[in-house]
Each structure stands twice: as structure tokens, then as C-alpha cells.
Amino acid sequence: MGGVWFTPLTALLLLAFSSAVRSCPPSELAALRAFRSALREPHNGIFNSWTGADCCHNWFGVSCDRNSRRVAEISLRAGPVYTTLEKAHRPGYMTGQISPEICKLTRLSSIIITDWQGISGEIPRCISSLSFLRIIDLTGNRISGTLPADIGRLQQLTLLSASDNLIAGEIPPSLTSVTGLMHIDLRNNRISGSIPQELGRLQMLSRALLSGNQISGPIPASICGIYRLVDLDLSENHLSGPIPEALGRMAVLSSLKLDTNKLTGRIPASLLGSGISELNLSHNMLEGNIPDSFGGSSYFTLLDFSYNNLTGSIPKSISSCSYIGYVDFSHNHLCGPIPSSYSNADASSLVLSMALVTLVGLTASAVNSCPPSEWAALMAFKASLNEPYPTFFRSWRGTNCCYHWHGITCDPTTRRVAGITLRGGVGNTITGHLSPSICNLTQLSSITITDWKGISGNIPHCITTLPFLQIIDLSGNLIDGQIPLDIGRLTLLTVLNLADNHISGRIPNTLVNLSNLMQLDLRNNAIEGPIPQDLGRLRKLNRALLSHNRMTGPIPQSVSDIYGLADLDLSLNRLSGSIPGSLGRMPVLDSLNLKYNNLTGGIPWSVLGSRMTHLDLSRNGLSGLIPDAFGGDSYFISLDLSHNNLAGSVPKSMALANYIGYLDLSHNCLCGCMHVACPSTTFTQPCSNTTVASVGNR
């Protein structure tokens, strides 16, 4: 298989050495000063280094092309600033707007202004005139307006992320002209209209995340032609029509989320026998039987068909699945027995999981009343929260909390409250705290109170006395304090999501007793101390997301013992020591993110020779050679080894890789020529579609 050779001087530039540049043009200096004057950041002193006439030398977040001395990147991330300056969790700590003066930086290749929460205004229309732009990341602000109609002019763009903002209007049809786009993330905005019918022209796309908007119309059939698409999230919109059957024949699609839409018709049989491992079709209007098309290759970490109009029995072929972690078929019209024979021991939790959601999931209207003690507990819970524009609590009237109370689900047999589900989002606000009275609901199996941004206080410590809890999701609030020390008592827990809060302290050692835990998400908090050494006891864990905290110490060797772990994110911490070589021998690990830590030593051979498709080891203290471990099975959607102390030449075996979409080796001590793999001969795209960053080497 042939390779395309790039030298560091001819490689497409993503980043640049700023220290090697003596000055920047006066026009760009003036543009940066105007950009700064439109923003206000009173706390951390982000702009204190923006002094003098040389914007290419030690200006925080500014990088320049060392040859042309032109500004090539603006990177102002709230996350790394938190880590560096130890000023964590100050919401809205940068305000203002993005000045159109940024468009005078005509050689910009990257604009990253993320997670400041207070930056508002519109995306400057002139941004589409920056022909060298490859990355636009404006995630986590309060940007409004619409996406530029002529965004299709940005032919070099590989990443577009504007999630968690207030962007409205339609997705511009011109976006389908950006044929090199690999990652699009527009989640949690107010985007309306339909998905462009020609979205399938984006043949390099690996992730399309459009959830949490007001998008309507059908799912375009052209999406099924995107060969490299791994993650498709269209959930929480107003999509209608049937699910395209061809989605189940996509070569590398592993996550498909279509929940909370208005989709109709039947579940395509192709989805159940595909390579998809995370499939969520819940909260739609799907009907008919569940297809009897499971097989030995079916491997689901999550399978959710709840809240539809499905009928018939649960297909017997589900017993042949190699693994099913979490399954929910509740709130349908299913009948008959639950299959009780499974070919894989790892699926032993399926019977318990399905049995519980089937009992819990019958409609609350079938329940005559709830116990007075539980009604009183819910009234106390409501009293501790303040919803200024009552929407969710408007239905909490009368004494029958099991009948048409928004977010409340009851067990139809015992008439006890089994689930609380209150999901916030853009434009919704609830303040207050979680009352300990919730612990009087002793039959609770699920607590989901997410994305309200204003709920604060501690997690009630009595929550560990609720023995039936399977799901705790409190993400996206302002909850502080510590994780309850005895959380290990919740032995039925499958999901623990506390991401995007202000939680501090250590991860309790008892957490390793949660033997049924499948998803652990503690991202974006202030958690410190080491990762529990026995984390590997969580044998059913599929996702472990601990990024953007203050954790220290080594990566526990025991993590490698978690057979079903597919996604491990330990980035933006202060971890030290070496990378365990056994991580590369994990059978289903697909994404490993260790960036922004203090890791040292060499890159293990096994890690580069593994089945991972997303690997980020950037911004550590790694040294030595890049292992010559690539081969025909190497398939990297993203490979980032930048900002380390790696030396030597780029290994020749890189040319043997089946596919490398995004490659960043910049800011190391590498020398010689670069060998970049051509895609497989079955691919139609030319080798030039590999995005390479190699600057800052020799």
C-alpha cells in the first residue's frame, strides 16, 4: 500500500511555534486588541499576557506560523485555564462577544473559544471568509443568531462545534459543501428546520451530533452513505417519518441515538444485527414487533426501545447476543415471558435489568394512588426547588402522585414511586437543592435530574439507603460537596452520572463495590486524589469518563481488567507515571483520552497497535520514539501525540495503516519525513484528506 510523504514544511498547518516568531504584523496586532476589548474576563487574568507589540510571543492562547509570522490559532479554553490557574467552577467568568475583527486574521486555521458560559452575540458572518480555517470550536457559551449561510466556503474545515449555545435558524445547506468535515457538533441549541438532504456528501464525517434542538422532517437517506460515520446523535428533536433501514448497514456506525423524536413505523431488522453497540430509539411512536434478528455478533452496551407502541413478545433471538449491558423495553405493549437463557455470562444482568424496567415501566394511569408518605416526600422534594415559570411541577396536583405527575413513574403492583425524571435544557431553570426527603421513596430505581444549571447543595447522603437504585443522573447542575462515602452500598446501580457540577473530594473507595455499574461519568468537577486502585473490579463498566478534574497519581493497572470498557477519558487531570501497556490489549476499548496530564515514559507499543479509533495522548511529558507498531488493522479516526517530548523519526509503518483521519504530531522533537497512510483502496477519497499537523518539530 503506497504512502503520501509530507515534510514538516509542506504539511498542512494546524498549530505553530509562537516562541520562534519575533513579531506579528501591526494589522493583526490591532485585530487581536480589538478582539480582546470585546471580551470581559475579570477573574483569572487570561489576557494579562497580551502586552507589547509581539502577539506571537507568550500571548496566552495565541499561536503563529513561524515562517510567515501570521496568527494561526486562537485557543481560549475554559477547561485548561481552570486546570492551569486553579480557578475552577466560576460560571460566566468571561462575557462579551466575538468581535468581527477576528476576520482580519486571514491566516487563522483554528478558532477555539470554549466553555466560558457568558460569551454572547452572534458568530461573525465574516468568519466564512477565513479560507484557511480548519477548526471552529465555540462550545459552551451563550452565542445566539444563526450559523453563517455561506459556511460552505470554508473548504479546509474539519471540525465544527458550537454545542451548548443558543443558536437558532436552520443548518445551512452550504454546509454539505465542506467535504473534508470530520466532526460536527451542534447539540443543545435552538436549531430548527430539516437536516440537509445532501448531508451524505460529507464523506469524511465520523461524528454528527445534532441532539437537543428543534430539528424536524425525516432522517435523510443520504446519511447512510457516509462510510466513516461512527457516532450519530439526532435525539431530542422533532424528527418524523420512518428510520432508514440502511442505517443498519453502515460499516463503522457504533452509536445511534434517535430517542425523543416523533419517528413512526417499525424498527428496521438491520439495526439489531449490525455493529451498533449503543442504540437508543426510546420516546418515539414506533410500532410493530421487535425484530427477531439478534445474533451472535450483536453486542449492545445500551439498548433502549422504551416509550413506544411496540407489541408482541420479546424475541427469543435476544438470547444469542454476545453481550447486552443495559436494556429498557418499558412503556410499550409487550407481552409474554422474558427470555431466560443467555449464551454469554456477561449478559447475566439482562434478566434483572429487563425485569425491573418491565415492572416499573407500566403506565402510571393504571395505578389508583400512591402512599401518603410518598406523596408527602414528593411535596417536600418540590418545596426545596424553585421553578420560576412553572411547567414541570404544574401537573403535581392532587394526592395521586402516580397519575399524570410529570416525571414520576410508579410500580403498578406496589403503587410506590419508582422513578423521578426531570430533564432541563436551554431556556429552562430550576434552582434550589435536593431535599433528603427523596430518601423516603424507598422503592426508587431511577433518579434523573439533569441540566438545570441552578440546582445546588450536596447530594443527600441518605441516598445510599435506597437499595433498588439503578440510575443516578444529576449531571449539568451546580451540585457541590462530595460523593457519598458509602455509595458502594448501591449494588444494583448501573449508571452514575454526576458530570458538569461542582463536586469535590475524592472518589470513594467503596465505589468499586458497584459490581453492576456500566456507565461512570464524573467529568467537569473538582474531584481530587487518586483513581481507586481497584477500579478494575467494575467488570461491567463500558464508559469511564473522569476528565477535567484534579485527580493525581498513576493510572491503575487494574483498569485493563475491565473487559467491556469501550471509552476511557482521564484527560485534563494531573495524573502522573507511565501509561500501562495493558491498555492496548483491552478487547473493546475504542477511545482513550489521556491529554493534559503529567504522564511520562514512552508510548506503549500495544497502544498504537490496538483496535482503538480515537487516541489522544497530547500535552503530557511522554518521551522516546513513536513505536513502529502500525499495520493493516490500524484505523484511527483521530490520533494526537502532540505537545510531548517524542524524538526520532515518524515510523514508516504509519504508511501501512488502513486509515488515519486526523493526525497531530506537532510540538515534539521529531525529525525526518512523514509517512501518512493512504486510505484503503476500497475508499474513494484521496490521501490528501488525512489532516496532518507536524509543526514544532525539526
Q: What structural domains and CATH numbers belong to the chain?
A: 35-153 (3.80.10.10), 192-338 (3.80.10.10), 372-671 (3.80.10.10)
Check whether 523 has a pLDDT greater than 90.
Answer: yes
Written as nine digits, the cell of 85 is 490557574
- In 186-225 the beta strands, taken as DSSP E runs, fall at 207-209, 216-217
Rounded percentage of the chain residues whose pLDDT exceeds 90: 53
CA distances (Å), 120 to each of 40, 98, 116, 325, in order?
A: 11, 8, 10, 41
Contacts of 682 (CB under 8 A, 6+ apart): none
Cβ atoms of residues 578 and 600 within 8 Å: yes
Would you state the pLDDT for residue 91? 44
Grid cell 465505589 in the structure block, residue: 511
Q: Which strands sit side by side in the sheet containing 159-161, from one edge to the other?
A: 62-64, 71-77, 110-114, 135-137, 159-161, 183-185, 207-209, 231-233, 255-257, 278-280, 299-304, 323-328
Beta strand spans in 186-286 (E)? 207-209, 216-217, 231-233, 238-241, 255-257, 262-263, 278-280
How big is the CA angle at 569 (ends 568 and 575), to the nearest 5 degrees?
110
349 pLDDT more than 70: no
- Three-state SS at 340: coil
**Predicted pLDDT of residue 7:** 34
pLDDT tens readout for residues 492-509? 998 999 999 999 999 999
Instruction: Specify the range with the lowest mean pLDDT, choosing from 89-103, 353-367, 513-527, 545-559.
Output: 353-367
Helix, strand, or coil (residue 34): helix
- pLDDT, the chain, mean: 84
Q: Are 537 and 510 in contact (CB under 8 A)?
A: no
Tell me how far apart the alpha carbons of residues 578 and 555 are, in angstroms, rounded to a whole number: 8
pLDDT in tens, 152-173: 999 999 889 999 999 999 999 9
**At 29, which helix (H) or strand (E)?**
helix 26-37
- pLDDT of 596 over the 50 cut: yes
In this predicted structure, what is the pLDDT of residue 151?
96
Residue 310, C-alpha cell as written in the block: 411496540
User: Which of the residue ranges 85-99, 395-409, 630-644 would you say has the lowest mean pLDDT?
Assistant: 85-99
- Pairing verdict, β 94-97 and 39-40: antiparallel
The one-letter amino acid at 189: N
Bridge partners (DSSP) of residue 482 are: 504
Residue whose C-alpha cell is 464525517: 205
Q: Is 528 helix (H, G, I), strand (E, B) or coil?
A: strand
Reduced to 3 states, what is the DSSP secondary structure of residue 660?
A: strand
Report, as an integer, the average pLDDT of 608-631: 92
Q: Is the pLDDT of residue 634 over 70?
A: yes
Distance of CA 394 to the CA centre of its chain: 32
Residues 128/154, Cβ–Cβ less than 8 Å: yes
d(CA 235, CA 282): 9
- Sheet with 216-217, strands from edge to edge, namely 216-217, 238-241, 262-263
Per-residue pLDDT band for 571 (boundaries 50, 70, 90) equals very high
Least confident stretch, 229-233, 247-251, 332-336, 486-490: 332-336
> Residue 79's pLDDT band (boundaries 50, 70, 90)?
low
Residue 520: pLDDT over 80: yes
Q: How confident is the model at residue 143 (pLDDT cuts 50, 70, 90)?
A: very high
pLDDT at position 309 is: 93
Nearest to 254 by CA among 637, 690, 569: 637
5-17: per-residue pLDDT in tens? Answer: 333 323 333 333 3
Helix (H, G, I), strand (E, B) or coil at 519: strand
CB-based contact 64:16 (threshold 8 Å):
yes
What mean pLDDT comes out for the span 357-370?
42
Nearest to 433 by CA among 498, 483, 486, 386: 386
Supply the Cα-derived Rg of the chain in whole angstroms.
Answer: 25
Under 8 Å between Cβ of 152 and 175? yes
> Which grid cell is 680?
484503503
Return the closest-CA partner of residue 280 out of 258, 307, 312, 254.
258
- Taking residues 523-545, what's their average pLDDT? 94
Q: What integer pLDDT is reported at residue 195 of this predicted model?
A: 97
pLDDT of residue 697: 60
Q: Average pLDDT for residues 460-476, to the nearest whole number?
A: 93
